[in-house]
Amino acid sequence: MVAASLETAMMFKVSESYPSRGNEAAILSRVEPVVPNPTYPGPLSPRQLDQFEQDGFLFLPDLFAADEVQALYEEMQRVRDDFAGANRPEAITERGSGAVRSVFNVHRSNAVFSALARHPCLLGIAQQIVGGEVYIHQSRINYKPGLVGREFFWHSDFETWHVEDGMPAMRAVSCAIALTENTPHNGPLMLIPGSHRYFIACAGHTPSDHYQQSLKKQEYGVPDAASLEFLTRAGAGIAMPTGGPGSVVFFDCNTMHGSNSNISPLPRSNVFMVYNHIDNALGSPKYGLAPRPEYIAAREQCVALTVV
């Protein structure tokens, strides 16, 4: 067993670090495998798993039935109404309008979204992709309201989670569940296929308490123009999976993604769950940064999830 655990440790020998937030931008190679154990049991077919491994994301239209999503949609409205004007830290408001932009930590604060985190469709696929037991690193509802929902500039989530949360390795996967129509007009998620194979080191030293700005408008930990052009040309351009409520995008923690502002009158509301391998728990943030709050990056009671 020692050999096996040593082999696993070597397989996930994380490079000294994925340096970032220094003086220079750089394009580095990914260390970890994208799908470490393709034989790990789960709902995805071999072809779907290959597609995820290749592109760094997988779009599953209609993963949830309409009545299931309706319940999530109604709960999402209740959460927003509860948090609107409550001045609670988990609720992030939009620049300018003050509308609710995001509510974090819903997997812990809300029974409906806590059950969603353990839904067999989501949890089973997440375990299959990362190749083991998982816990929730972060959950959030991004409301992107009509007319005032602002953009999320291009970024790799892992770049932020590695530097600001001390996430050791690329062993996490996000899923975005559409709670409203995601159309080409209301600021849907855009991803760069193949970008997950490169780590883009970003220039610029991280301000303290950066999350207080970055969750509204991220300006540090964002890729430079040359790196974005490289990724877009190296891959298949930019993908923009659109679909109705209940469609889901699973994307690797390091896939470059972003979304435009929503100038349509219709909301683009999604709930995000981030599943982290149970052996990839957060360590110390890099460069002496203070740990971010628990509602953004879970450190306590991070136990393996079981399906509901």
Give the binding site for Fe ion (CB under 5 A). 157
Q: Is 152 in the site for ligand 6CS (CB under 6 A)?
A: yes
Using CB under 6 A as the binding rule, the residues of this chain from 198 to 227 that contact ligand 6CS are 214, 218
Residue with smaller CB distance to Fe ion, 83 or 152: 152
Give the binding range for ligand 6CS (CB under 6 A) out of 17-25, 43-51, 149-157, 235-243.
149-157
Pairing state between β 91-93 and 100-104: antiparallel
Task: Tell me the C-alpha to C-alpha distance, in Å, between residue 242 and each of 46, 94, 175, 190, 247.
Answer: 23, 23, 14, 9, 8
Binder among 30, 80, 101, 140 for ligand 6CS (CB under 6 A):
140
Residue type, 256: M
Q: Name the nearest CA neighbour of 116 among 176, 161, 164.
A: 176
Lay out the site mask for ligand 6CS across 78-117 (x = CB under 6 A, - = otherwise).
----------------------------------------
Given ligand 6CS, Fe ion, none, residue 227, with its beta carbon under 5 to 8 Å by kind, binds none
The DSSP code for 80 is H
Task: State the Cα–Cα distance between residues 91 and 101, nearest whole angstrom.
Answer: 7
Task: Tell me the C-alpha to C-alpha distance, in Å, between residue 21 and each of 168, 186, 230.
Answer: 16, 31, 19
Q: How far apart are CB 105 and Fe ion at their closest, in Å?
A: 16
Give the binding range for ligand 6CS (CB under 6 A) out of 15-23, 126-134, 151-159, 245-253.
151-159
Q: How far apart are CB 195 and Fe ion at their closest, in Å?
A: 13
Q: Name the nearest CA neighbour of 305 among 273, 270, 260, 269.
A: 273
Residues that bind ligand 6CS (CB under 6 A): 138, 140, 152, 155, 157, 160, 214, 218, 296
